[in-house]
């Protein structure tokens, strides 16, 4: 708390929005409370200085895994330590901050450019840009796995719009267009100057991990092909390092 007050000097708290998007992911172990602690400290600081509106980024890992599409108000019974930590972070966030001055955003997997990809789609995107080598050739174990991950562009737009419009509540942010792995690979390979080559080892099984995004965020979601083209056109400079 003291460090936050020292490091974050806010001239106009009543006109400031806080977007809490940091998370401890890899380090989360059973019994860990890293995300809960982080959320509590930021919420206490925001409340003490009178921040105008605060948005916390959570995860779809808080939901009970379902065979069908998961809705925003689906049951929250996380099966991972990370999901439980994030759910506890949501609870402490809501307990400290007034309901009308905050929202919680549960994000599906976020895809985009990453130096060290944590999502398989991000590995495919990086390999399409750089080729194999220098990137390892991606091994695709299942062509028919359906996902509606959300692009980093759309995720950022949703967070900003929710804060600017002071939209309180809990929101599920996922991609508008479901896509299977085979379709994603095909679209990547069709991009200009794509260098993507994959090693197909398809087991022939179909699985789905799909989410019904909140209706309020629909205006800020785009067709998958549009987002992919925009992402490809805006390659980061570090790709050529």
Tens-place pLDDT, residues 50-69: 999 999 999 999 998 877 78
Q: Are residues 66 and 119 in the same domain?
A: no
In a domain, 164, yes or no: yes
Residue 32's pLDDT band, with cuts at 50, 70 and 90, is: confident
Q: Do 150 and 172 contact (CB within 8 A), yes or no?
A: no
pLDDT at 18: 95
In a domain, 2, yes or no: no
Q: Are residues 131 and 217 in the same domain?
A: yes
Q: Which of 100, 127, 150 lies at the terminal end of a domain, its last residue?
A: 100
pLDDT at 67: 72
Query: How far from each other are the two terminal CA atoms of the chain, in whole angstroms?
Result: 39
In a domain, 150, yes or no: yes
Interval 166-183 mean pLDDT: 96
* Helical spans, DSSP H, in the chain: 2-7, 34-49, 81-96, 120-130, 152-164, 181-189, 224-233
Percent of the residues in the chain that have a pLDDT greater than 90, as a whole number: 83
In a domain, 172, yes or no: yes
Given a cut of 80, whether residue 182 has pLDDT beyond it is yes
Rounded Cα distance, 134 and 95, in Å: 48
The pLDDT tens digits for 213-240 are 999 999 999 999 999 999 999 999 999 7
Q: Are residues 40 and 92 in the same domain?
A: yes
Given a cut of 70, whether residue 116 has pLDDT beyond it is yes
Percent of the residues in the chain that have a pLDDT greater than 70, as a whole number: 93
In a domain, 6, yes or no: no
- Among 8-12, 181-185, 225-229, the minimum mean pLDDT is found in 8-12
Task: Return the SS3 of 116.
Answer: coil
Q: Are strands 17-20 and 146-147 parallel, antiparallel or unpaired?
A: unpaired
**Using N-to-C axis directions, what is the helix angle for 120-130 and 181-189, rounded to 10°?**
20
Q: What range does the domain containing 52 cover?
A: 11-100
Q: Are residues 181 and 120 in the same domain?
A: yes
pLDDT at 31: 64
pTM for this model (two decimals) = 0.91
Interval 167-192 mean pLDDT: 97
Q: Are residues 141 and 79 in the same domain?
A: no
In a domain, 5, yes or no: no
Q: Are residues 58 and 128 in the same domain?
A: no
Q: Which of 67, 100, 133 lies at the terminal end of a domain, its last residue?
A: 100
Q: Are residues 87 and 189 in the same domain?
A: no
Interval 78-99 mean pLDDT: 95
Q: Are residues 169 and 224 in the same domain?
A: yes
Number of domains comprising the chain = 2
pLDDT at 4: 59
- Beta carbons within 8 Å of 16's beta carbon, 6+ residues apart: 10, 51, 52
Q: Are residues 241 and 167 in the same domain?
A: yes
Any idea what the CATH number is for the domain that residue 29 is in?
3.40.50.720
Q: Which of 81, 100, 119 lies at the terminal end of a domain, its last residue?
A: 100
pLDDT at 1: 53
Q: Are residues 19 and 79 in the same domain?
A: yes
Residue 95's pLDDT band, with cuts at 50, 70 and 90, is: very high
DSSP string, 180-194: EHHHHHHHHHTSTT-
Residue 20's pLDDT band, with cuts at 50, 70 and 90, is: very high
In a domain, 232, yes or no: yes
Q: Are residues 123 and 167 in the same domain?
A: yes
Q: Are residues 230 and 112 in the same domain?
A: yes
Given a cut of 70, whether residue 185 has pLDDT beyond it is yes
In a domain, 4, yes or no: no
**Distances in Å between the alpha carbon of 21 and those of 102, 121, 174, 187, 200?**
14, 21, 16, 29, 35
């Amino acid at each position: 708390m003291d460090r936050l007050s020292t490091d974050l000097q806010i001239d106009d708290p009543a006109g400031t929005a806080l977007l809490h998007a940091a998370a401890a992911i890899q380090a989360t172990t059973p019994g860990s409370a890293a995300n809960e602690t982080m959320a509590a400290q930021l919420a206490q600081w925001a409340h003490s200085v009178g921040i105008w509106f605060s948005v916390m980024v959570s995860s779809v890992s808080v939901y009970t895994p379902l065979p069908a599409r998961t809705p925003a108000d689906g049951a929250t019974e996380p099966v991972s330590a990370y999901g439980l930590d994030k759910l506890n972070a949501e609870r402490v966030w809501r307990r400290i901050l007034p309901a009308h001055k905050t929202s919680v955003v549960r994000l599906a997997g976020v895809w985009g450019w990453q130096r060290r990809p944590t999502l398989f789609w991000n590995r495919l995107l990086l390999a399409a840009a750089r080729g194999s080598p220098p990137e390892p050739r991606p091994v695709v174990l299942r062509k028919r796995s359906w996902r509606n991950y959300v692009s980093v562009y759309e995720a950022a737009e949703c967070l900003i719009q929710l804060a600017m419009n002071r939209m309180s509540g809990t929101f599920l942010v996922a991609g508008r267009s479901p896509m299977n792995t085979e379709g994603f690979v095909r679209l990547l390979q069709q991009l200009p100057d794509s260098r993507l080559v994959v090693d197909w080892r398809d087991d022939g099984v179909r699985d789905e991990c799909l989410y019904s995004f909140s209706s309020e965020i629909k205006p800020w979601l785009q067709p998958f092909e549009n987002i992919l083209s925009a992402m490809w056109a805006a390659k980061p400079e570090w790709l050529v390092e």
